[in-house]
């Protein structure tokens, strides 16, 4: 390690040792992505199918679904994340050791989906940095496997030794209050919290609805 001079994160600036070490580390990381399955609704069923023998994500080294966040690399948020569950989800993410990645599986965890509601987060990127979004309601297991392969391609481009040399720990926004990756700007979070005063509504006078 003596010849390792501080380098930038771009591969073009890194030396022979750093790039070869990066390739080795990334190869190991991308082929042993252990998922943390956070099955919150119907997406969880597709996630089980994906882990099972028919779709078999063991082909990508990701079959070891651990139910302890301490042993996981990729958090798969599968389903509708409510604000009440958000604290648990964030705690799981914080308990995962670096390096860690997040797949938002399904439209609910990507954008809130059809739940444009007071109880549901409008995308898990409101509370977590997300690496890959998978559309679908629920997405087929193939689509999530595609997301996994995209995540593997993303990991190939990372430079762990560069980060090490910069003295930057892997991953997250833990304790800093800032996302290492900005949340999805497409989510119109500003709508949340807009309050419609009762006077702005135009309810009926109730006369047509005297049923009971």
Neighbouring residues of 200: CB distance < 8 A, sequence distance ≥ 6: none
Positive/negative CA dihedral, 171, 172, 176, 181: positive
Q: Which of 68, 56, 76, 195 is nearest to 139 (CA)?
A: 76
User: Whose Cβ is closer to other proteins: residue 48's or residue 126's?
Assistant: 126
Task: Please tell me whether residue 169 binds other proteins under the rule CB under 8 A.
Answer: no
Task: Please tell me whether residue 206 binds other proteins under the rule CB under 8 A.
Answer: yes
Q: CB of residue 115 vs other proteins: minimum separation in angstroms? A: 10
Q: Out of 1, 118, 185, 208, name the contact with other proteins by CB under 8 A.
A: 118
User: Whose Cβ is closer to other proteins: residue 53's or residue 198's?
Assistant: 198
Positive/negative CA dihedral, 97, 9, 29, 103: positive
Neighbouring residues of 62: CB distance < 8 A, sequence distance ≥ 6: 32, 33, 34, 35, 74, 148
Q: Out of 42, 55, 90, 154, name the contact with other proteins by CB under 8 A.
A: 90
Q: Out of 58, 114, 119, 149, name the contact with other proteins by CB under 8 A.
A: 119
Binding region for other proteins (CB under 8 A) out of 58-66, 83-91, 98-106, 146-154: 83-91
Binding region for other proteins (CB under 8 A) out of 15-23, 103-111, 112-120, 142-150: 112-120
Task: Please tell me whether residue 196 binds other proteins under the rule CB under 8 A.
Answer: yes
CA–CA separation, 15 vs 114, rounded Å?
49
Task: Please tell me whether residue 191 binds other proteins under the rule CB under 8 A.
Answer: yes
> Is the peptide bond prior to 138 cis by the omega test (within 30 degrees of 0)?
yes
Task: Please tell me whether residue 208 binds other proteins under the rule CB under 8 A.
Answer: no
CA–CA separation, 105 vs 195, rounded Å?
30
> Which residues here bind other proteins, judged by CB under 8 A?
83-84, 86-87, 90, 116-119, 121, 126-127, 174-175, 177, 191-196, 198, 201, 203-206, 209, 211-212
């Amino acid at each position: 390690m003596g010849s390792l001079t501080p380098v930038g994160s771009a591969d073009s600036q890194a030396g022979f040792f750093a790039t070869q070490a990066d390739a080795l580390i990334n190869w190991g990381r991308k082929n042993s992505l252990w998922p943390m399955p956070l099955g919150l609704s119907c997406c969880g069923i597709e996630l089980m199918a994906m882990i099972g023998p028919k779709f078999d994500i063991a082909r990508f080294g990701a079959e070891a679904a651990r139910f302890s966040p301490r042993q996981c690399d990729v958090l798969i948020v599968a389903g509708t994340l409510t604000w009440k569950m958000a604290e648990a989800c964030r705690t799981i993410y914080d308990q995962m050791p670096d390096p860690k990645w997040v797949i938002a599986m399904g439209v609910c965890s990507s954008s809130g989906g059809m739940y444009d509601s007071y109880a549901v987060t409008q995308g898990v990127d409101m509370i977590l940095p997300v690496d890959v979004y998978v559309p679908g309601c629920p997405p087929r297991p193939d689509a999530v496997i595609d997301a996994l392969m995209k995540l593997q391609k993303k990991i190939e481009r990372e430079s762990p030794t560069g980060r090490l040399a910069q003295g930057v720990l892997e991953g997250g926004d833990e304790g800093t209050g800032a996302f290492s990756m900005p949340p999805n700007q497409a989510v119109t979070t500003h709508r949340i919290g807009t309050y419609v005063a009762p006077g702005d509504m135009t309810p009926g006078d109730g006369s047509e609805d005297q049923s009971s």
